Amino acid sequence: MRAMDYTHLGRSGLSVSRLCLGTMNFGPLTTEEDSHAIMDHALDQGFNFFDTANVYGWRKGEGWTEQIIGRWFGQGGGRRDRVVIATKLYGSMGDWPNQTFLSALNIRRACEESLRRLQTDHIDLYQMHHIDRSTPWDEIWQAMEVLVQQGKVLYTGSSNFAGWHIVQAQETARARHFMGLISEQSLYNLAQRSIELEVLPACRDYGVGVIPWSPLMRGMLGGILRKSKEGRSASDLTQQLLERHRSQVEQYEAFCDQLGEQPANVGLAWLLHREGVTAPIVGPRTMEQLDGALRALEIKLGEEEMRRLDEIFPGPGGPAPEAYAW
């Protein structure tokens, strides 16, 4: 197995692995014992970038996944020191007002609760899980600045922002002499390329690293046709996606056969070849899935291969406005 590659997250000096360990399955689909084993193995394989969120675990207010990670950190052995931990806030953590979204009150409260669950004194990357159109940027940044000054947060990031949201955020941060965002976590994969219109260009211009989530489009790009022949089933949502994209997926898996590579690894490798992408999030349920993802680091896609993938899964045509105007 090859050694992990590292890069800076956006314009920051923070070095992170080219693959990010996603933890959303920890708790609901992967037991705590297996989750801890996967995280230990990820460290052994060179992963130093772990992503989670306060809502993961999907038990409102509990932060189940963060608790699992916190108990893993609590085992010691240098685990916390070796990990760049990224978590998120925005989603509802209770039924009372101000337990959701990005008010200064909820930012403070959510941070304190995540620190407690994660059993750490600081969050390396604190991400806003969604845009909050009702809270002014001056309020958001003031609250984040306090957390940074207190040493509870080192860097801030966004997730699911539009391009113009990133501009708003960065220009307000600039006026406040604050660093602002260093990352944006977006839905991005071969089959869903909308961010190429405006989000990717905005991120490149502002030095914001892109962290793609669902890099295999809920498993549709992970060899779903091969797996179905082996009797393995996919979720209803993935099956619905497949019905819309069946012709493309058939071509894609045939192309991967020509390359002699697993579809999942080609999908990750394509993202690693995209300018501005820092680290796709891989969310393994098992150790085998984690090991398999490492192969993507070795796959080199030349101009011909990238052109063929564009033919199978056409993007929007480049950045806006050229993609739809002139």
DSSP code per residue over 139-151: HHHHHHHHHHHTT
The C-alpha atoms of residue 148 and residue 126 are separated, in whole angstroms, by: 10
- Spot the catalytic one: 56, 90, 188, 252: 56
SS3 220: coil
The C-alpha atoms of residue 30 and residue 16 are separated, in whole angstroms, by: 24
Burial of 290 (0-12, 13-18, 19+ CB in 10 A): buried
In a domain, 115, yes or no: yes
Supply the pLDDT for residue 191. 96
Assigned token pair, 104? 């200064």
> Any idea what the CATH number is for the domain that residue 79 is in?
3.20.20.100
* Full pLDDT tens readout for the chain, 326 residues: 568 999 999 999 999 999 999 999 999 999 999 999 999 999 999 999 999 999 999 999 999 999 999 999 999 999 999 999 999 999 999 999 999 999 999 999 999 999 999 999 999 999 999 999 999 999 999 999 999 999 999 999 999 999 999 999 999 999 999 999 999 999 999 999 999 999 999 999 999 999 999 999 988 999 988 887 776 666 777 888 888 889 999 999 999 999 999 999 999 999 999 999 999 999 988 888 888 899 999 999 999 999 999 999 999 999 999 999 99
**DSSP string of 259-315, one letter each residue:** HTS-HHHHHHHHHHTSTTB---EE--SSHHHHHHHGGGGG----HHHHHHHHHHS--
In a domain, 83, yes or no: yes
* CB of 98 closer than 8 Å to CB of 109: yes
Please give the span between the terminal C-alpha atoms of the chain, in angstroms, as a whole number: 46
In a domain, 324, yes or no: no
**Domain tally, the chain:** 1
The C-alpha atoms of residue 287 and residue 116 are separated, in whole angstroms, by: 28
Supply the pLDDT for residue 96. 95
| Cβ-Cβ contacts under 8 Å for 160 (sequence gap 6 or more) | 129, 130, 131, 185, 186, 187
Give residue for tokens 């893993």. Answer: 72
Supply the pLDDT for residue 241. 85
Domain boundaries, position 181: 6-312
In a domain, 209, yes or no: yes
In a domain, 23, yes or no: yes
The pTM for the full model equals 0.96
- The interaxial angle of helices 32-44 and 64-73, nearest 10 deg, is 60
Residue 56 annotated as catalytic? yes
Supply the pLDDT for residue 231. 63
In a domain, 225, yes or no: yes
SS3 214: coil
In a domain, 317, yes or no: no
Q: Which of 219, 196, 205 is nearest to 169 (CA)?
A: 205
In a domain, 318, yes or no: no
Query: E-strand spans in 92-218?
Result: 123-128, 153-159, 181-187, 209-213
